[in-house]
Amino acid sequence: MNQASLHRLLMANAKKKDPKILFDQRLATNLTLIQQLYFSLYPEETNLDNFQKLLSLLPVLFKERPEHLKLQDISRIEEGNWYQSEKIVGMQLYVEHFNKDLKGLREKIPYFKELGVNFLHLMPITTRPKGESDGGYAVNDYLKVDPKYGTKEDLLELTAEFRKQGIYLMLDFVVNHTSNEFSWAKKAIRGDKKYQGYYYTFEDYTIPAEFEKTLPEVFPETSPGSFTYIPEMGRWVMTVFNSYQWDLNYTNPDVFLEMLTNLVKLSDQGVDVVRFDALAFLWKKMGTISQNLPEAHTLIALFRMCLQVVAPGVILLAEAIVAPMDIIKYFGVDQKEGNECEIAYNASLMALLWNSVATKKTTLLYKSLLHVPDKPKDCTWINYIRCHDDIGLGYENHLIQELGWSPDMHRKFLLDYYCQHLDWSPATGLMFMYNPKTGDGRITGSAASLLGLEKGLALNDKSLIEASISKIIMLHGITLAFGGIPLIYAGDEIGTLNDYSYQKDPAKKEDNRWVNRPMQDWETIAKLDDIQSPPSKIFHTLKRLIAIRKNEPVFADHNNLSLCHTGNDHILVFERKLASGEGLLVLSNFDQNPQVIETSWIKKLGYFAQGDPVDLVTENKVSINSGLLEIAPYQLIWLKKS
């Protein structure tokens, strides 16, 4: 049982208690764990005073939490795992690209309502350096709203409105690094030893050279290496991402305390889910790749256990874009099970779906999904197709090999397929951060462009256009049904194509992830009544699928998903099931040709027991005469047990 469930049990009959008494109860419940986690990072012999500081900080942070959020915290504990509900559908967006600023965003609430979206991830809105800022992931201050988005009051008004309208808000906490303009970095540059100790700084290159032997490069083209020399400071600083993003040194207990304070204050603005950015990188150790280290997990659990005491209604999302077996660990294992992040990006599913599109086969998808253990029951996924980042080819090599493919050549094929190196491929993607030293590369591009809509429209090729629309719907249909929070990337709901305007902006042109950070196209949205246009077909179908999802309790995530084997390598089928016996089969065909599957097993599962079942996507009954079910190219079926 995780700590959140324990808090729920202890809450019984506690409803009318003073929130402070409940805080004390939560602290007592988590204290042993907090202590163990803390001393395993910061040895007890030398850190008793620091631990005392943490214990004094928690009540102060609680006192400062707004009263209405304290009440919301209590009802969230009572409610249980709200984030596993079938009623939640999310969207990720850049505020300035969506509708100018925070006020503009508020005006668009009716758009979210129309589509059925009630969970928003807003990309960073805090202050950042002028010029390059990694889209705001270089943070100048965790709590200051960048004036281009509005003011702190605008944010508070927005979060109040979201609460009123039942919209959940997710914001980033860029926990691994600050910008080089953050107040701590500035003091470090001026020679302040205390703040130099907030980062990994070194007077010469000896230690960085040792680190470099094993640290992989995140941005090899634009920011090779993981250290930057700062002449004004006369020291090297660790910068694993861009040279202007300084890695925080969590071996220093003061950094943890300051960042915990920032985390709680961010939550106090009315945030429901905190996206822990790049959390795999939180702990560094020479001689390792400094990703996914056990200490990083301990640190995350420590953040989690403290936040839970102060603001138990707020949960964490793991942004760990790492190998499948490593992602699942961010839910916490052993003693930490369910006590790290409640949600994680299902980056594995995302990357595997793109693999299936290119290969037209689902074999690696099945193998990989089966290879990963079930997640803890209180946790859930964010399922998505595209986001603001590149698509990394993070597959397990041994599984590729088991299929008789060479991992290197397979990855090369995927890069060629998506990045315009194959004439016959419908995709118009771009290669991101190709590393000639390793042959590694990643892929950027919008979902629609990667799936052939851009090429189809350019060539005025009707069948290519139709195929791309079907693929866009099929992939979204899978993420809507998979179990977890589906997160639509703003613009994908209308099939937005690549945006090449970044190439003219000096602060963006080196980073082609900007090709998929388009302006929301309100002109197109105004014309969605023209039901024949591709944007309209996509929008109206997704809107319908969202409404169906919200109406089917079987889509709530209770680890109630099982993969079904069909014997046909082009097909993906999984079943969602309730304990009551209700069930829904999700079928999709990744091939350009119609495919058939044998159906006796579907009958055995009881789908035809009460007559022909309905495909919720088309609203047609599905009958099987020959014993075979035919699935059209890129068709999505949601077959409901009648």
The interface mask with ligand GLC, positions 565-604, x = CB under 6 A, is ----------------------------------------
Report the alpha-carbon distance of residue 362 to residue 392 in Å, rounded.
18
Can you tell me the distance from the alpha carbon of 340 to that of 300, in angstroms, rounded to the nearest whole number? 6
Question: Applying CB under 6 A, does 296 fall inside the site for ligand GLC?
Answer: no
Q: Give the list of residues 6+ apart from residue 68 with CB closer than 8 angstroms, or none.
A: none
**One character per residue 208-247, x = contact with ligand GLC (rule: CB under 6 A):** ---------------------------------x------
Q: How far is the CB of 212 from ligand GLC (least distance, A)?
A: 19
DSSP SS3 for 444: strand
Minimum distance from residue 344 beta carbon to ligand GLC (Å): 13
Nearest distance in Å: CB 482, ligand GLC = 21
Nearer to ligand GLC, 266 or 587 (CB): 266
At position 601, the amino acid (one-letter code) is W
Q: Which of residues 147-176 bind ligand GLC (CB under 6 A)?
A: 174
Q: Based on CB atoms, which residue is closest to ligand GLC, 516 or 536?
A: 516
Q: Which one of the spans 134-142, 297-305, 350-358, 536-544 is the region binding ligand GLC (CB under 6 A)?
A: 134-142
| Closer residue to ligand GLC in complex, CB, 256/276 | 276
Per-residue contact string for residues 375-404; x = within reach of ligand GLC by CB under 6 A = -------------xx---------------
Q: Which is nearer to ligand GLC, 178 or 470 (CB)?
A: 178
Straight-line distance from the first to the last Cα atom of the chain, in angstroms, rounded to the nearest whole number = 35
Dihedral over Cα of 392, 398, 401, 406: its sign:
positive
- Least distance in Å: CB of 189 to ligand GLC? 21
Q: Measured from the CB of residue 61, what is the shortest distance to ligand GLC in angstroms?
A: 25
Taking the C-alpha atoms of residue 134 and residue 514, their distance in angstroms, rounded to an integer, is 10
Size, binding site for ligand GLC by CB under 6 A? 10
Q: What residues numbered 274-293 form the site for ligand GLC, per CB under 6 A?
A: 277-278
Which of 535, 640, 595, 83 has its CA nearest to residue 315? Answer: 83
Cα torsion 550, 164, 7, 25 to 10°: value is 180
Closer residue to ligand GLC in complex, CB, 167/174: 174
Nearest residue to ligand GLC, by Cβ distance, number only: 137
Per 3-state DSSP, the chain is made up of helix, strand and coil in percentages (nearest 5) of 45, 15, 40
Rounded distance between C-alpha atoms, residue 324 and residue 343, angstroms: 14
Q: Up-side HSE of residue 590: CA atoms within 13 Å toward CB?
A: 22
CB of 111 to ligand GLC, least distance (A): 24
210: left (phi over 0), alpha (psi -120 to 50) or beta: alpha
Nearest to 42 by CA among 283, 237, 264: 283
Tell me which stretch binds ligand GLC (CB under 6 A): 129-137, 306-314, 442-450, 502-510.
129-137
CB of 451 to ligand GLC, least distance (A): 22
What backbone torsions phi and psi does residue 623 show, to the nearest 5 degrees?
Answer: -115, 150
Instruction: Specify whether the CB–CB gap between 542 and 493 falls below 8 A.
Output: yes
Catalytic residues: 277, 319
Beta strand spans in 322-367 (E): 343-345
Instruction: Indicate the pairing of strand 343-345 with strand 315-318.
Output: parallel
Residue 137 or 590 having the CB closest to ligand GLC: 137
Candidates 10-18, 24-32, 133-141, 487-495: pick the segment binding ligand GLC (CB under 6 A).
133-141
Residues lying near ligand GLC in the complex (CB under 6 A): 134-135, 137, 174, 241, 277-278, 319, 388-389
